[in-house]
Chain A
């Protein structure tokens, strides 16, 4: 009998939303406890700051350039390598419960297999991408996935309670709600037990209950929250009074200060803020960030924190069931997310081509199986989601596959140093109706450098350079600072040396998201 694996991902969760990472709004005692007895990573970055590329990296252990999913809407090929398949063929029982998003959701032609698997929890052929058990959910009640079908069958009255994710023009909805009319904030009257967070935990528990005591298992439990819309069950919203929520450190309260900071960055930052450029589909096209108010930032952060608390409590229920099954000593638990959320930083919300900590610095906690007698530690060296797949292999006692591009996560800083964890890379490529934006980013030795490739509003000479120690909020772009020229050149060359080659032929964008 080997070590069992519970991989928990959330969607669009910031590093600083966890108590163990210094967060003060949401109470997250379950993940905090895992961190206290395991390994907490202070600098884990995604290889893309949007869902589909990032999730594809988790599954394949490859950079977006390699697996080819360069933006939301580009489907991961069905024959893409999968760490779940490695585990399954080595004897693990495997399940994916919650949000997959390896293929687009927007699918009226129903061309994508993952949108037609909702009839059953067992895929035809025995497995899909290495998972023998599937129960899918996303952010709302509409669509063909398992959660939507369950809600329609069991609680149809709840369907209309959720926020309407798309507007009449099929753009991400900009409509506001709550007390402040913040975009994607909505009062959801749904009962807590019917909301997708608890559903994901319920279905995970049901699958665990179906296993034999001596089964080895790998479960990817994938919560759709705290991604927008911010519409948690209204019964839970009272936990946190948004009026008591402090403004984020990354949100300059004075408009002039916000705009001064944005103006020192490549110009697409300010253009989006002013509503003159929409570069990607993921944020509401009709929403102008310059209209964001202090109170809206507070309410978004409060509701986001409620969603984080619900996830923590749902995870707690699953871990209690693991204990009840007698597996507590043999389960590795990994908690992370696919990317972050601006959540008020720089006066912005949502996500886009903005490679700063809000989107890149992720929560990552690995509590190795207690039977391995792990030593609690904090890793400050950079790691990436690309390192998860080799880590899962290592836990299972398997060699990392040769197609994986990361390495098993270090267990402490000396381990990281000895195994060369020096840098982490993040990519962005978006092309939306003639607006192209292309970023390549390296984070190393306390600095983050972003190179801009030529695009619609960039000529290829632009960049960003931040000293993460002196400027943790990344408000002072040092790209053109002569005193930083040496650092910039060194990082730039290092980035070029380590950027993976781009897959050819390039995969096509097949849907908006």
Chain B
């Protein structure tokens, strides 16, 4: 049995309201600010190209940027990936805090692990940034 498609999820609780988190997550160009290992992001319409720390450019198609649901979805369209969708949901927990859930589906499955690992680290960084805002 060979797994070709992988699904991995990472999450973080942020002690700030969901709208505060969404200001970071919902702006496609701000990704390098909160994702260690992404050095640049260029957005043109529904296309975004990020640059990885290793220098590799990665083209993406932006699928959903929904400020009401606070949902951000994108698809990596570059080589290596046969299929990919990542979804970032920012949930309002109703007590002035929020839960950010980063879900990755990818084929090859290995890339789901790679993205999830980096996303988990990025979510922690995001939490620090948002909670550190005055």
Chain A contact residues, CB within 8 Å of chain B: 73, 104, 106-111, 144, 166, 168-171, 275-278, 281, 285-286, 433, 508-512
Contact = CB atoms under 8 A, between A and B. Distances in A.
A170 B108 contact: yes
Contacts of B37: 109-111
Contact of B118 (A169, A285, A433, A510): A510
Nearest to A171: B110
B53 A109 contact: yes
16 contacts: A108-B52, A109-B36, A109-B37, A109-B114, A109-B118, A110-B52, A111-B121, A168-B108, A170-B108, A171-B2, A275-B1, A285-B2, A433-B6, A508-B120, A510-B118, A512-B110
A509 B116 CA distance: 9
Nearest to A166: B110
Contacts of B77: none
A170 B81 CA distance: 10
Nearest to A172: B110
Interface string B106-120: 001111111001101
B3 interface: yes
Nearest to A104: B117
B54 to A, nearest CB: 5
A171 B3 CA distance: 10
Given A73-B113, A275-B1, A281-B110, 5 more contacts: A109-B52, A169-B108, A170-B111, A433-B3, A433-B6
Nearest to B4: A169
Range, interface on chain B? 20 to 34
B54 A110 contact: yes
Nearest to B112: A433
A91 to B, nearest CB: 36
Contacts of B3: 278, 285, 433
Contacts of A276: 1
Contacts of B114: 106, 108-109, 511-512
Interface string B88-119: 00000000000000000000111111100110
A131 to B, nearest CB: 23
A171 B121 contact: no
Given A171-B108, A511-B113, A111 B53 contact: yes
Closest 5 CB pairs of A and B: A109-B37, A510-B117, A110-B53, A170-B110, A169-B108
A285 B3 CA distance: 8
Contacts of A508: 10, 117, 120-121
B56 interface: yes
Contact of B54 (A73, A109, A169, A281): A109
A285 B2 CA distance: 6
What does DSSP make chain B's interface, helix, strand, loop or mixed?
Answer: mixed
What does DSSP make chain A's interface, helix, strand, loop or mixed?
Answer: loop
A142 to B, nearest CB: 12
A433 B109 contact: yes
A508 to B, nearest CB: 5
B38 interface: yes
Contacts, number: 74
B7 interface: yes
Interface in B64-79: none
Contact of B117 (A73, A278, A281, A285): A73
Given A109-B53, A508-B120, A510-B118, A277 B1 contact: yes
A144 to B, nearest CB: 8
Contacts of B113: 73, 509, 511-512
A510 B36 CA distance: 13
Contacts of A511: 113-114, 117
B56 A108 contact: yes
Contact of B7 (A168, A433, A510): A433
A166 B110 CA distance: 11
A117 to B, nearest CB: 14
Contacts of B52: 108-110
A509 B110 CA distance: 12
B108 to A, nearest CB: 4
A510 B120 contact: yes
Nearest to A168: B108
Nearest to A435: B3
B29 to A, nearest CB: 18
A278 B6 CA distance: 13
Among A109, A111, A166, A510, the most chain B Cβ lie within 10 Å of the Cβ of A109
B4 to A, nearest CB: 6
Contacts of B53: 108-111
B118 A111 contact: yes
A109 B37 CA distance: 5
A278 B54 contact: no
B95 to A, nearest CB: 21
Contacts of B38: 109
A281 B117 CA distance: 15
Contacts of A104: 117
Contacts of A433: 3, 6-8, 109, 112
A350 to B, nearest CB: 15
B86 to A, nearest CB: 14
Nearest to A116: B53
Contact of B110 (A107, A169, A277): A169
Contacts of A510: 117-118, 120-121
A162 B16 CA distance: 51
B125 to A, nearest CB: 11
A80 B117 CA distance: 20
Interface in B1-49: 1-4, 6-8, 10, 36-38
Contacts of A144: 54
Contacts of A108: 52-54, 56, 114
A375 to B, nearest CB: 49
B22 to A, nearest CB: 24
Nearest to B111: A170
Contacts of A275: 1
